[in-house]
Structure 1
Amino acid sequence: MIDNLLTGISLGFFLSFMIGPVFFILIETSITKGFRAAMSFDFGVILADIVFIAIAYFSSFRLINSIKDEPALYLFGGVIMITYGVISFLKLKKTSIEVIKLDSIRIKKDYFNLFVKGFLLNFINVGVLGFWLAIIITLGPEMEMEPNRMLFFFSCVILAYFITDVFKILLAKQLRKKLIPENILKIKKVSSILLIIFGLVIMSRGVFPKEEKLLENNFIFNHNKK
């Protein structure tokens, strides 16, 4: 159990700092909208991870293995992310500084939308499903696929992930006090551009699936060497 605890905490901490769309949008949300808004977004992200873990654990490994490598799913997820990024950027081009100043008044109504945004942003990235499947395939046999041990391990992962995100959100929030509305608008634009870039990266996994498979195999190989 101690080994599972330490491995779970290490993995959760590592996941929290993986560079991806979720990482940047979480920081941007904390800076521009505050702690509660960022937490709402993060809860949605974590729920998507829990759903992926459950799908990978309870479904046929052969079926999930074939689905996660389906290029069309990467293309679909990439297109959605790019579309969202483009729409967000175009809206921001029409946004005035006065509207940014009034953001704090509307935030209370946005918590649910931020939760859904976090869930969908994580869920459309099929690579996340592939990652959790790789974790189960790699570490599951060491825990003899015993439900209680698996539940304990993934609970440690999610909890460590969540706690690390809380600290990230708190640190990012400190910048909010030092930002003028003009800079907040710039951060939102950069966030939209990053979504477009990550959408292109996800699409590339559908166009060049062999590279994605090689990365996953390297992860499994490096773990088995330990």
Structure 2
Amino acid sequence: MPFLEGFIIGLGTLVFIGPVFFTLIQASLQFGWKAGMSVALGVISGDLLCVILYLYGLDQFLKNPLFLNSFAIIGGLFLISLGLKHIIRPALMLEVQLAKQMDLATSFIKGFAINFINPFVFMVWAGIVLLAKTKFENPTDSFVFLGACLLAIFLTDSLKSVFAFQIKNILSPIIIKTTFRLIGILMIGFGLRLLLYLL
């Protein structure tokens, strides 16, 4: 059953707690669940683009050290800058700000960027696409497998956004401020990890 197997693989990505997870939480806490969903849409768009690139023969280009190193530098610096922003200027609002169109667009772009410029994401999808190609002889089964995997990832990211928004009502301003600073520290850590990938 390609769909079930792909869905399970997608759920398995829950074990990867990286910058995407904390970006989802941050967006939902600061701008509401719609912003969190926008991040989730950006993330899944990046994942979908990775899958398309691998399926249509660009895997050799994506495995090029120059490509991966360039993305590691860009991604590392991007995450570090986000982390510093959360530490220096943590959110202090008591009520969720209304997610205006610009906020939703920014959240989408942030989700896409954080996901797509991470070399580790390319490595994960390289393995999943290879699994689909070797496990299923029928291309349709491969597409169903990969589609189910993407669906599972999007659903779990969406649930994270809604959950973060729901618990905001019971969090005090001090806890929210501390949470944003912790997210900032973790973002810097993930950024440094990407830069260390070059060594």
Asked if Structure 1 and Structure 2 have the same fold, meaning a TM-score greater than 0.5 normalized by the shorter chain, the answer is yes
Tell me if the contact between 1:57 and 1:133 (Cα under 8 Å) persists in the aligned partners.
no
Amino acid at match of 2:106: N
Over 3 Å counting, the alpha-carbon distance change for 1:78 and 1:111 in structure 2 is same
Q: What are the residue-to-residue correspondences of 1:1-226 with 2, within 5 Å?
A: 2=1, 4-67=2-65, 70-92=68-90, 97=92, 100-101=93-94, 104-105=97-98, 107-109=99-101, 110-144=103-137, 146-207=138-199
Amino acid at match of 1:123: F
C-alpha distance in structure 1 between counterparts of 2:183 and 2:174, whole Å: 14
Query: TM-score if structure 2 supplies the norm length?
Result: 0.87
Query: TM-score if structure 1 supplies the norm length?
Result: 0.78
How many matched pairs?
A: 198
Tell me if the contact between 1:32 and 1:184 (Cα under 8 Å) persists in the aligned partners.
no
Q: Percent identity?
A: 29
**What's the offset of the Cα at 1:192?**
1.6
C-alpha distance in structure 1 between counterparts of 2:97 and 2:74, whole Å: 34
Unaligned runs of 5+ in 1: 208-226
C-alpha distance in structure 2 between counterparts of 1:108 and 1:61, whole Å: 38
Structure 1 residue ranges, 4+ long, deviating more than 6 angstroms after superposition: none
Amino acid at match of 2:27: T
Over 3 Å counting, the alpha-carbon distance change for 1:37 and 1:66 in structure 2 is same
Tell me if the contact between 2:42 and 2:112 (Cα under 8 Å) persists in the aligned partners.
yes
C-alpha distance in structure 2 between counterparts of 1:191 and 1:86, whole Å: 10
Unaligned runs of 5+ in 2: none
C-alpha distance in structure 1 between counterparts of 2:180 and 2:86, whole Å: 9
C-alpha distance in structure 2 between counterparts of 1:149 and 1:142, whole Å: 9
Tell me if the contact between 1:82 and 1:196 (Cα under 8 Å) persists in the aligned partners.
yes
C-alpha distance in structure 1 between counterparts of 2:27 and 2:15, whole Å: 16
Over 3 Å counting, the alpha-carbon distance change for 1:67 and 1:50 in structure 2 is farther
Tell me if the contact between 2:36 and 2:162 (Cα under 8 Å) persists in the aligned partners.
no
Over 3 Å counting, the alpha-carbon distance change for 1:60 and 1:48 in structure 2 is closer
C-alpha distance in structure 1 between counterparts of 2:96 and 2:165, whole Å: 15
**What's the offset of the Cα at 1:72?**
4.0
**1:101 is paired with a residue of what secondary structure?**
coil
